[in-house]
Amino acid sequence: MFKNVFGSGFLVRTAHTVLTWAVTLVLFLHDTDLRKQEARGELLQPVLFVLLVLVSVLLYFAVSLMDPGFVFSDSDVKFTLGVSDEEQEMITQTPKAMRQRRCGYCLLQQPMRAKHCPTCKHCVLRYDHHCPWIENCVGERNHRWFIIYLGVQLIALIWGFHLAWSGFSYAPTWNLWLQQNGFLLAAFCLVAVFSVVVILLLGSHLYLVSCNTTTWEFMSRHRISYLKHCGADENPFDQGIVRNLWSFFCLCRTVAWEKVYFREDSDPV
């Protein structure tokens, strides 16, 4: 289920972890609201903030090391998607069907919505994108957790932004002010930049999930065989916002997207 901790993303994960705890430490060492509450013996918010940061780090590692839905063999495709030989034959006989293609890199059959990732060197089920931040693909098995991680991370960042702002102290000159607040200013700028990035990421992913589409499908629609013939506003996987969100967040199963795509043709009369 999880990849090797000491793989190619070891430095990225280490840098993320060190930076997260370094910013947290700066917030506690300066005269922020956390430090004031700790000095007064009010430990509830400081403990909650540390726990929130810890949860965000654990979620980061879970998403980073989780199998996003790699396809390792042709037999894995049928077993994972639950498509029998008879059902596969019925699908390929429908009027608008296209033949299931073989990956030009790993030579495995690609189920619908899968794509080969040149960085991970595997085909990924319901491929969304390869994220350099987590040094892993975002696919069918970890996309849900990726969005949950972004949500938790955003709460921690906004809280950290408020705490950093509360810690700036007055000084009569700019040089003295920078000496007193230099580290806090660096932490404040980092938190601000990452907050903007996470807001944009979370907003875009929630929008795509509500439409039941992926980043790859949204960006490369004109080149994807099962989408390029569809109209600009047509999405064969869209089941409505509520059902899309329910299926994505609440149904922990792998979907046979061929069945969803051909549901109009395969419905019994």
Q: Among the options 120, 131, 230, 252, which is catalytic?
A: 131
b (16+ CB within 10 A) / e for 243-260: ebeebbeeeeebbbbbbb
Residue 80's nearest CA partner among 92, 71, 89 is: 71
Name the token pair of 134. 């987590």
Name the token pair of 118. 């040149």
Helix, strand, coil percentages (3-state) for the chain, rounded to 5, are 55, 5, 35
For the question of residue 230 being annotated catalytic, the response is no
Q: How far apart are CA 249 and CA 17, in angstroms?
A: 27
Category of 3 on φ-ψ map: left (φ > 0), alpha (ψ -120 to 50) or beta: beta
Phi and psi torsions of 132, nearest 5° = -70, -20
Catalytic residue IDs: 131
